[in-house]
Amino acid sequence: MLDFLGDILKGCLLGIVAGGVFLLLFGGGSGGIVIKGTKKYNTCNRDSDVKVKNILKNGTGSSKQELQEWWDKYHSPK
């Protein structure tokens, strides 16, 4: 009886691990691995290009003085 339950438990654990790997590789959503040439890759690539263009278009949101202070703090010669 215990051997049978052990086999069921092993099967469930292997199924959960295999399902997790499958979702990681082929699952939808924003997370996971993206393989070049797939529909998910093309979507992520297009979305990231749009985000970068918006960030660069809108600027950093900092004033010129704040940017100069940051530059002086982190790029001053030592």
- What are the tens digits of pLDDT across the range 57-67? 767 677 888 88
pLDDT digits (tens, 9 = 90+) for 13-62: 999 999 888 777 666 555 667 778 888 888 888 898 888 888 777 676 77
Residue 68 has pLDDT above 60, yes or no: yes
Q: What is the pTM of this model?
A: 0.38
Assess contact for 60 and 67: CB atoms under 8 A.
yes
**Who wins on pLDDT, 70 or 23?**
70
From the centroid of its chain, how far is CA 49?
A: 15
Nearest to 40 by CA among 63, 24, 51, 61: 24
